[in-house]
Amino acid sequence: MTDLVTESDLVATMKELLRDPAGDIKLEDLMRPLARRIATAFADQDSFPVSVLEQDMVGFVPRWLEQVRGYEDGVRPILSLVRLAGAYGRPEHVVVWEQVVKALMRNVGNLAGHPALVELRGYPTVLVLHVAAIAAASRENWSPLVGFAVRPMTTAQYSNEKAVVAEEVTVLSVAGRVETTLHVLTQLDEGQALDEELIRRVDGGQTRRRYTPMSDHLHHVLRELFRDEFDDDVEYDAAFDRAEIMLDAIAADAALESGRGHWPGGNYGRYTWKDRYADVRPEGRLAVEAGAAGASWGPTAAGLFGGDAERAVRALEKVQTVATEYRKAYR
């Protein structure tokens, strides 16, 4: 069905269904087949191979970048719908968002191949989580994150235990294997042209290196999707940072509740370097906010952190502890 309609048609249908108190089944009928079709395309190893012949950076980086762009293009049809879901989704829709993430996660696992390409298979899910979280932050509408980030489960990186998706599929887990690829990506975001000279300069440490390159890239590549949502870049920046902090807090809460508290999980993105000199860090402000509001705090009232404000505070304090360690490397 979606082959015969435009993205604007899908968006219009999504808006109607989100307003319809009895539209949850139709909403699932819209979203789940689309997510499955996208996941099926990503499973095609001719288009998205996990093994490459190129071994040096000059040969490997273009292959890696090609897959990054392929994942971004392939998941784009659903991102506008995820943005609406994050902004306007209701608690009764949580199961629909869970099904979307589960479909996209079918391709994520321990496949044989180049580790950087295997890990990159989680990238579409990272895009979806960020879009949902930014949209949720923009409207203070937190229940969709229960469906997108908490209820879908995957296998923990360092054990065979089950873990929530936000703990395991992050900017650090999908793109931390080969630093050169990330720093070439951010150079392209700044307008540089891809050629062998650029790759060699980046690989040789002759260009500026960002502290959080994949988070910075997500911030860049998702800006256009939210162009009509935010009046200026300041508002977008604030929502993006709050979104990543919330995803990190969800990951920290899952780790603490499961006993994996030693593993930080999460993204620990742009907000860590942006606020490294601040007297009060943004995750600290959120912890104070959560503690003061208690059960009425928006995220806990929506069901995040098990609806427990004390859990939310503990998770945000854990985020602050881990973020402080990252910030030490930025000075």
Q: What is the mean pLDDT of each run of 10 residues along the chain (331 residues)?
A: 69 94 91 96 93 87 96 96 98 96 88 89 97 97 98 80 90 88 96 96 94 97 95 94 97 89 80 86 92 95 96 95 90 67
| Nearest Cα residue to 143 out of 179, 182, 110, 96 | 96
pLDDT score of 1: 40
Contacts of 131 (CB under 8 A, 6+ apart): 79, 82, 83, 86, 222, 225
pLDDT score of 2: 43
The parent domain of residue 204 ranges over 2-328
The rounded distance, in Å, linking the Cα atoms of 43 and 280 is 44
The rounded distance, in Å, linking the Cα atoms of 122 and 104 is 8
pLDDT score of 263: 61
Give the chain's domain count.
Answer: 1
pTM for this structure? Answer: 0.95
